[in-house]
Structure 1
Amino acid sequence: MTTIASDSSRDQIEIAAGVDTHQDTHTVAAVDAAGRLLGHSTFPATGAGYHALLAWLHDLGVVLVVGIEGTGAYGAGLARYLSSQGIEMVEVDRPDRRTRRSAGKSDPIDAEAAARAALAQVRTGTPKAREGKVEALRNLRVARRSAVDQRADCQRRIKTLIVTAPEELRARLRVLSDRELLTTCAALRPDTERVSDPEQATKVALRNLARRHAALVADIAELDALIEPLVAAINPDLLQLNGVGADTAGQLLVTAGENADRLRSEGAFAMLCGVAPIPASSGKIHRHRLNRGGDRQANAALYRIVLCRLRWDPRTQAYMRRRTAEGLSKKDVIRCLKRLIAREMFYVITKTATDNQTLTMAA
């Protein structure tokens, strides 16, 4: 533990803190309003450790702001604790590679960089609130996404096994549709006493994968039954929009967070979703490049909404025809549509969040 502040002045010092978070420990550094390092220390990532961390900061002076790296992961518990204590927080980006090459890499160095970023309000943002219905929705969606990925993996592995299966079994299964294939594989009756035989071993593997696929389908249906009413309770207006279902609406709500008012503008939401073009101009050349950052799951949700509207919405179809006639490719038009739909989603999400906050305050 390193501390530089004197006892006589610590009550008057206004400080900013930065925290480099890890699974088991958090390293905190504090700087004064002039940017001078006051000290750094490491605390366990436990409830008692959070209390000791905040007490250490109070001993140094009046805490103006705390910058935390990773409030959505290892720093989630600390962020919840500091929020309950009324401490102002910002989320800071990790130091860029150029800074790390010149300053080195260690937990105290990263914590000090986070403190300076929080003090200067450089590359910072308001952390997502990790309490409430949206956080519950996020947890359910984590389980659903895992089940969907595993279901697809089961089906891929079944088809891979069929490619290398003995000819008689391969000829029997390769002509079936996906649904028939899964049903047939789940009903296979291999001779488990002869698993040294490749054909019987293949049947065992196919049966297990098919039954696992069926169990995952049941899991997804169970989670959907919980997710759909929860999405409707959080933001019913979102589900009324053309092409927006519970899955896409749920993803956009999770991306925006419980405290959607932290998003300063519809442009900030578009950047968060990775659909805002990035300026790439130089000299006489004025252009934009594709944004490959942001939340890729939110980007995919907007893409699915675009596809639905291109199929069913006359206005979107007319927009596609008009922009294509202007010389844009289909991919470029889809990118434009994602940007426009992100704007529409932003206003619906933030309006409902504001209305809910007003009702809560009135109650």
Structure 2
Amino acid sequence: MTIIGIDPHKSSLTAVALTADGSVTATRRFAVTKGTGPAVVAWASQFNQALFAVEGAKGLGRGISQYLISQGHEVIDVPSTLSMKARVLHTGGGRKTDAADARAVGWAAQHHQGLQRVAVEDHAELLGLLTHQRDALKGERTRALNRLHDLLRDLIPGGVPRGLNLTKAKAALRTVRPATAIARCRRDLARDLIGEVARLEKLMDDYEQKIAEELQATGTSLMKLPGISTILAGKILGEVGDVRQFHSAGHFASYTGAAPLDTSSGDNQRQRLNPGGNRQLNSVLHVMAVCQISHAGLGREYYLKKIQEGKTPREARRALKRRLSNVIYRTMLKDLTAGKPVLS
């Protein structure tokens, strides 16, 4: 079998064909245009049983990966961090070119058995797009409120309290009586920002409604879990996709960053916090844990049990996040086995 490693960029991609022993048989650079996909397939047709390995198949490599799948080819997603380590290992230094990166992608695909196969974009991708867009709008609203807070601080003696929202901003602006041209300018700017915040909140509500409609179509039962809202459920499904790609609850917890890392050495048996993993899912687990700790239930009981065992509140919360990761994993698997059309 020939492994074709692909290093994608915005305006070009480089493909390298590797034999079973890792030797390079051909290298080709393609400009990214409408005809890139057919050109790559035509070039790869000279090799028997070609298997494509693309760096960042959910990022810059998304376009070529989805095209190759549509043509019936198998594609492996190689994380950029893994290909970088493979390149350094094989070259013995920091030498870096597009061809070297493509070779490293192919080498990683040859020797790493846990890499994911790229699938056709489905309902998970749609939920991911919607939740990411809503998060972006939320960030814009926060920045607009911060600018509005600065203006009101200069317009109103003593400013306004923290936790500014649209209703409080409108009420505060109604009390302003500008006496100078500069103060009137600040008032007008504040009025425009209030309109911007109102527009952003309307868009956020619209996207939340779209996410709710898509979730209803999936049949997921994630929202029955305490602490999981419509937005968080959409984020979980959008980030995870097909949960069957994780062979165990531990594998899933490692992906979410909820599983601690083993840092034992010699007789010292230690574990430390995992700073990696999917930060979006880790954030979901954090919100879910904080919510369950604040309300009576199994989550709070588990948290208090860890406190009684001598753990600090932070350590107990991390232990709860690890347990909740298992709950989410089992819930998603149960939805599949129950015949619900999740991500179909």
**Superposition RMSD on alpha carbons, in Å?**
2.7
Structure 2 vs 1, CA of residues 47 and 120 (structure 1 numbering), >3 Å: closer, same or farther? Answer: farther
Query: In the alignment, what sits opposite 1:139?
Result: 129
Per the TM alignment, residue 172 of structure 1 is displaced from its structure 2 partner at its CA by 7.6
Which of 243, 262, 276 is equivalent to 1:279? 262
Q: Residue 66 of structure 2 corresponds to which residue in structure 1? A: 80
Please name the residue that 2:309 is paired with.
326
| Partner amino acid, structure 2, of 1:77 | G
Matches within 5 A, 1:212-361: 212-257=196-241, 259-353=242-336
Counterpart of 1:6 in structure 2 is none
Q: Tell me the residue number matched to 2:144.
A: 154
Residue by residue over 1:305-325, the C-alpha shift from the partner in whole angstroms, topping out at 9 and shown as x without a partner, is: 111211224222222222111
Matches of residues 37-52 of structure 1 in structure 2 within 5 Å?
A: 37-52=24-39
Instruction: State, as a whole percentage, how many aligned pairs show the same letter.
Output: 25
CA deviation digits over 1:310-347, x for unaligned, max 9?
12242222222221111101111111111111111112
Indicate whether 1:36 and 2:23 are aligned. yes
Q: CA deviation at 1:173?
A: 5.2
CA–CA separation in structure 1 for the residues paired with 2:343 and 2:325: 27
**TM-score calculated relative to the size of structure 2:** 0.89
CA contact (8 A) 1:248 1:302 kept: no
CA distance in 2, matches of 1:276, 1:235: 28
**C-alpha distance in structure 1 between counterparts of 2:342 and 2:303, whole Å:** 40
Q: 1:286 and 1:188 mapped to 2: Cα distance?
A: 63
CA 175–34 in structure 1, closer or farther in 2 if over 3 Å, else same = closer
- TM norm structure 1: 0.85
Partner residue in 2 for 1:206:
190
Residue 182 of structure 2 aligns to which amino acid in structure 1? P
Corresponding letter in the other structure for 1:349: M
Matching residue of 1:114 = 105
Question: In terms of Rg, which structure is larger?
Answer: 1
How far residue 101 of structure 1 moved from its aligned partner, in angstroms, is 6.6
Q: Which digits, 9 at most, give the CA deviation of each residue in 1:32-61, with x for residues without a partner? A: 112111111112334421111122112133
- 1:322 corresponds to which letter in structure 2? K
Q: Match of 1:20, SS?
A: strand
Indicate conservation of the 8 Å contact 1:260/1:353, yes or no. Answer: no
Structure 1 contact 17–118 (Cα < 8 Å) conserved: no
Which deviates further from its counterpart, 45-54 or 23-32? 45-54
**Match of 1:61?**
48
- Given that 1:19 and 1:66 are in contact with CA atoms closer than 8 Å, whether structure 2 keeps it comes out as yes
Instruction: Give, in whole Å, the separation in 1 of the partners of 2:283 and 2:343.
Output: 32
Q: Return the offset for 1:240.
A: 1.5
Identify the residue that residue 181 of structure 1 maps to in structure 2.
Answer: 168
Cross-structure match for 1:27: 14
After TM superposition, list the pairs within 5 Å mapping 1:164-175 onto structure 2. Answer: 165=154, 169-171=155-157, 174=160
Distance in 2, Cα, partners of 1:201 & 1:358? 55
| CA 74–140 in structure 1, closer or farther in 2 if over 3 Å, else same | same
**Residue 294 of structure 1, CA deviation:** 1.2
Query: In the aligned structure 1, how far is the partner of 2:275 from the partner of 2:256?
Result: 10
CA shift in 2, pair 1:270/1:237, >3 Å? same
1:218-272 deviation line (CA, Å, top 9, x unaligned): 1111111111121232243111222211111111111211x33222221121111
| Structure 2 unaligned residues grouped into runs of 5+ | none
Partner residue of 1:89? 75
- For residues 298 and 84 of structure 1, the distance between their equivalents in structure 2, rounded to whole angstroms, comes to 29
Q: Taking structure 1 as reference, are residues 267 and 324 closer, same or farther at Cα in structure 2, changes over 3 Å only?
A: same
Distance in 1 (CA, whole Å) between partners of 2:94 and 2:208 is 48
State whether residues 3 and 18 of structure 2, in contact with CA within 8 Å, keep that contact through their aligned partners in structure 1: yes
For the Cα contact (< 8 Å) 2:15–2:29, is it kept in 1? yes
Does the CA contact (< 8 Å) of 1:138 and 1:254 recur in 2? yes
Query: Cα gap change, 1:172/1:48 in structure 2, threshold over 3 Å: closer, same or farther?
Result: same
* Whole-Å separation in 2 of the counterparts to 1:273 and 1:330: 20
| Deviation digits for residues 152-195 of structure 1 (CA, Å, limit 9, x no counterpart) | 111112222333x1xxx32285269734432136668999xx9x
| One-letter amino acid of the counterpart of residue 260, structure 2 | P
Contact 2:219 2:341 in 1 (8 A): no
Distance (Å, rounded) in 2 between the aligned partners of 1:143 and 1:325:
42
CA contact 1:256–1:269 (8 Å) conserved in 2: no
Gap change, CA 1:175 and 1:243, over 3 Å in 2: closer
Letter aligned with residue 98 of structure 2: D
